[in-house]
Amino acid sequence: MTTPLSWIKRFFSVFRYSAVAVEIVWQASVLLTLSMAMATLFAGLLPAAIAWVGQLIVDTVVAAIDASGEARDQHTRQLLQYVVLEAFLVILLTGAQKINTVCQSILRALLGNEVNVRILKKALTLELADFEDSEYYDKLIRARREASSRPLSLVIATFDLIRDGISLISYGVLLLQFSVWAVLLLGLAGIPAFLAEARFSGEAFRNQRRRSAERRMQVYLEMVLTREDGVKEVKLMQLGKHFLQRYVDIFRNIYKEDRSLVLRRGVWGYLLGLLASFAFYGAYGWVAFAAVAGAITLGQMTMYIGVFRQGQSAVTSCLAAINRMYEDNLYLSNLTEFLGHNVPEPSGEQTVGPDPDDGIRFEHVTFKYPGTPKPALDQVSFHIRPGESLAIVGENGSGKTTLIKLLTRLYTPTSGRILFQGLNLQEWDVDVLRGKLAVIFQDFNRYQLKVGENIGVGNTQLLTDSAQIETAAEKGLAAEFIRQMPEQYNTQLGTWFRDGKELSGGQWQKIALGRAFMREDADVLILDEPTAAMDARAEAEIFAHFRELTSNRMSIIISHRFSTVRIADQILVMDQGVVLERGDHDSLLAQNGQYARLFRLQAKGYQ
């Protein structure tokens, strides 16, 4: 049951995130926030003052008409002063309104940047697992989408509401002179419309929140239908119509609900608005009769009628502000949830291990992805020393990439431990640890940047060191085709920007290999199938070359090609998260198990 208390609570919930928005605006600019607050105060108080001076003007005009001689001159002089005062107040009011709009325009740009920077800074502190949590990721996307408009919009709506509230109170004070009943009548007449608006806005707010998954699907479909990487398949598989239909169906569902809400809101708004109008015209008549009866002056009558009228429009504008505030609250709730997300402080501060020659040890490492029943890695153990190479083979989904993600501390083992140079990974300072690893994943980034930058990002400290970049490109076997490009290392890659050149899959992979070689002093080089787009011969050549270049370090390669894998010192054969077999090529062949079987199968294919 709805009690008056819950109504009040519900109404005040509209201010839930106003403080957060004001805090963001305050951070963006103290001066602008204070100017807006002052301007709001003036814009709230001045209309009542203007109405009051208006009354004095009318009364003085009437008095001047009735008077003669010296008294008339005195009234006329006074009238002039009132007119000047009124003009001054009106100028102040327009000034306050102008200051408000100017502040808003400046704040819009500042605030958009402020919020986006906060979001991006937060994103940098998140764990990989956070990005894989669909709801959380959704919050990030939504927080970014309207970052430049919503916080300011909420601040504006809050200030508008305060301004109109001040106006209404000051009108009430003026009206008190006439009758306390008139104040009550007009005040009460507005309440049903207020409550209805709060109710409908709340409903709209809850609808939007509930539909977030549908909206997310719409955004996803938009992306598939419009982005370069989705379009190829959409065209060839003729998926366009199908996806578009899904998009439209989602819209229809949402639209049905929205339409019903808009209609109900419109009808109730009109009916309850009528109530307020009746009250207004009732009070109008009352004031007019009071003037005829001589209970109030003509000036007072003009003032009261003006106050009623402006009071009504202040009520309407309050309702609009409440409506906007509910919508903005929805956004701000996403933003604060996103920014308030608890990110555990990265553990570990050690920068060296006690035994640098111990290399990498996995000891009974088990890992389960959140929300999955089966471990992706189960009791995995192995050891590699500096100068050794490890190859990991196994069917799709056997846990190879997961193993690398654990080694690079993108995830933490559920049980067991991983040691690097004799120190548990969790005790390493994560930045130092990652500085010692050079990793290229199968889905490495294809930056829409210049060729040189695409390689240079492998080591941000050497991002502009062209000699180092060229050496890395040589090592990654990319130098040859880069030399043939129009602007060589300055050639823009990708299709997003002007004059961008698109590369073939294999060429991109060579760029990525170059990126790994930017970390000259990395202790471990890890390649998680980045050469899958190359033919078997090219891949074997690259790995042989890779092995040569990493002879004094540790290297880990993941590949489905046994011709590549055979050169490794140690091979792990993975199956459903467990290490099935372990050894070098010859010993694994001698075991005559899974490795030997798959090796022969592949070798047959190449004969």
Contacts with ligand ATP by CB under 6 A lie at: 132, 369, 372, 376, 394, 396-402
3-state secondary structure of 574: strand
- Specify the residue, 75 or 400, whose C-beta has the smaller distance to ligand ATP: 400
Q: How far is the CB of 439 from ligand ATP (least distance, A)?
A: 13
Q: Measure the CA–CA gap between 44 and 40, rounded to whole angstroms.
A: 6
Cβ neighbours for 6, distance < 8 A, ≥ 6 positions apart: none
Nearest distance in Å: CB 170, ligand ATP: 59
**376 or 380: whose CB is closer to ligand ATP?**
376
Closest approach of ligand ATP to the CB of residue 556, in Å: 13
Beta carbon of residue 422, minimum distance to ligand ATP (angstroms, whole number):
26
Work out whether the CA dihedral 512, 515, 516, 517 comes out positive or negative.
positive
Alpha-carbon distance of 528 to 190, in angstroms, equals: 67
Does residue 184 contact residue 61 with C-beta atoms inside 8 Å?
no
Closest to 334 (Cα-Cα) out of 11, 6, 16: 16
Looking at the Cβ atoms of 356 and 397, the one nearer to ligand ATP is 397
Closer to ligand ATP at the Cβ: 250 or 532? 532
Considering the complex, what minimum distance in angstroms separates the CB of residue 372 from ligand ATP?
Answer: 5
How far apart are alpha carbons 15 and 32 in whole angstroms? 21
- Residues 334 and 391: their CA atoms lie apart, in Å, by 44
Nearer CB in complex with ligand ATP: 401/492: 401
How is residue 342 annotated by DSSP?
-
Rounded to a whole number of angstroms, the minimum distance from the CB of residue 395 to ligand ATP is 7
Nearest to 556 by CA among 396, 420, 447, 451: 420
452 neighbors 469 (Cβ within 8 angstroms): yes
Minimum separation from the CB atom of position 555 to ligand ATP (A): 17
Tell me how far CA of residue 412 lies from CA of 172, 360, 377, 578, in angstroms. 64, 16, 12, 17
The answer to whether residues 424 and 461 touch, using CB atoms and an 8 Å cutoff, is: no
Pairing of strands 578-583, 570-575: antiparallel
Q: Given the complex with ligand ATP, which of 368 and 501 has the nearer CB atom? A: 368
Our CB check for ligand ATP shows the closer of 316 and 442 to be: 442
Residue placing its CB nearer to ligand ATP in the complex, 190 or 399: 399
Q: Cα-atom radius of gyration of the chain, to the nearest Å?
A: 36
CB nearer ligand ATP, residue 265 or residue 400: 400
Cross-strand partners of 501:
493
Three-state DSSP state, 497: coil
Rounded least distance, CB 394 to ligand ATP, Å: 5
Q: What distance in Å separates the CA atoms of residue 25 and residue 152, rounded to the nearest whole number?
A: 7
* Closest distance of CB 392 from ligand ATP, Å: 8
What gap in Å lies between CA 189 and CA 183, rounded to an integer?
A: 10
- Please identify, using beta-carbon distances, which residue of 128 and 271 lies nearer to ligand ATP: 128
The whole-angstrom separation of Cα 80 and Cα 86 is 10
- Cα–Cα dist 316/586, whole Å: 84
Minimum CB–partner distance for residue 399 and ligand ATP (Å): 4
- In the complex, least distance from residue 128 CB atom to ligand ATP, rounded to whole angstroms: 8
Q: With contact defined as beta carbons under 8 Å apart, do 315 and 172 qualify?
A: no
- Report, in Å, the least distance between residue 410 CB and ligand ATP: 10
Alpha-carbon distance 207 to 326, whole Å?
A: 12
Residue 353: count of CB within 10 angstroms of its CB: 21
132 or 355: CB nearest ligand ATP: 132
Three-state DSSP state, 430? helix
Which one, 17 or 543, has the nearer CB to ligand ATP? Answer: 543
